[in-house]
Structure 1
Amino acid sequence: MYNKILLPTDGSGCAEQEVDRVTNLIADDGEVIIISVAGKITSSAFQSKDKVRKLNARMKKEAEEAVKKMEAKFDSSIKVTTMVRTGFPAETINQVVEEEGVDLIVISASGKSGIHRFVIGSVAEKVLKTADIDVLLIHNN
C-alpha cells in the first residue's frame, strides 16, 4: 500500500481505470493528489498579448475542470487533494513528487491526441524516464 499517490490528469476521459487502481493501492490513511498541469504560452510577434492571455486562462480553466472531474470519481472515504500548476507537465509532476513526498505516480499511457500530443510529446513517457519513484502506467483500451 502507498501513503501518497500522485494522479496526473489532462481531462482526456481515461480516468476510470486509474481511479480503480489508485483505490486498490492507497493505504487506509493515505492521500491521493490529483494534478493537472496547464501549459503556458508566451507572447510572440504572431499573437497579441490579449490573445495569449486568453489562451492561458482557457488552459488553466480546463486544468481546473479536469481535476474536479477526477476528484468526483473517488469515494468520500479517500482523502483527495487537488492542484493545478502551470508549466511543463513532466517536469511539474516530478517537482510535485519531491515537494509532497509522493510514493507512487499513477498515469495513463495515453491522454490527449492529435496535433496536441504531437507537439507536446508523451507526458507519460517523459515521466517514466525521469521519475525517481515508482510509476504505474495504466494501459487504456
Structure 2
Amino acid sequence: MYKKILLPTDGSTYADQEVERVEKLIAEDGEIIILSVAGRLTSSAFQSRRKVKKVNEKLKKDAQRYVNQMAEKFDDSLNVTKMVLTGFPAETIKEVTEKEGVDLIVISASGKSGLHRFVIGSVAEKVLKDSEIDVLLVHND
C-alpha cells in the first residue's frame, strides 16, 4: 500500500480505470493528489495579449474541471487533494512528486495529446523515464 499517490489528469476518458487502481493501492490513511497541469501561452506578434490571456484562463478553468471531475469519482472517505498548476506537464508532475513526497504516480498510457507515440503518450513516457519512484502506467482499452 502507498501513503501518497499522485494522479495526473488531462481530462481524458480513462479516469475510471485510474481511479479503480488508485483505490486498490492507497493506504487506509493515505493521500491521493489529483493534479492537472494547464499549459500557458505567451503573446507574440501574431496574437494580442488579451486573446492570449483569455486562452490561458480557459486552459486553467478546463484543468480545474478535470480535477473536480476526477475527485468526484473517489469515495468520500478517502483523503483527496486537488491541485491545478500551470506549466509543462511532465516537468510539473516531477516537481510535485518531489515537493509532496509522493511514492507512486498513476498515469494513463495515453491522453489528449493528439497523435499517440506508439503505445505510450508523450507525457507518460517522459514521466516514466524521469521518475525516481514507482510509476503505474494504466493501459487504456
| TM-score, reference length from structure 2 | 0.94
Q: Distance in 2 between matches of 1:110 and 1:135?
A: 14
Q: How many residues align?
A: 138
2:86 equivalent to 1:86: yes
Equivalent position of 2:55 in the other structure: 55
2:4 matched residue in structure 1:
4
- 1:67 corresponds in structure 2 to 67
Q: What amino acid is aligned across from residue 25 of structure 2 in structure 1?
A: L
In 2, Cα distance between equivalents of 1:129 and 1:47: 35
What is the identity percentage for the equivalent residue pairs of Structure 1 and Structure 2?
68
2:93, 2:69 → 1: CA distance?
Answer: 19
| Structure 2 residue 98 is matched with structure 1 residue 135 | no
Superposed CA deviations along residues 41-67 of structure 1, whole A, max 9, x for unmatched, are 011111110110011000000000000
Stretches of 4+ aligned residues off by more than 4 angstroms: none
Q: CA RMSD in A?
A: 1.3
- The one-letter amino acid paired with 2:62 is E
Unaligned runs of 5+ in 2: none
Structure 2 CA distance, aligned partners of 1:21 and 1:87?
Answer: 27
- Unpaired runs of 5+ in structure 1? none
Q: Helix, strand or coil: the match of 1:10?
A: coil
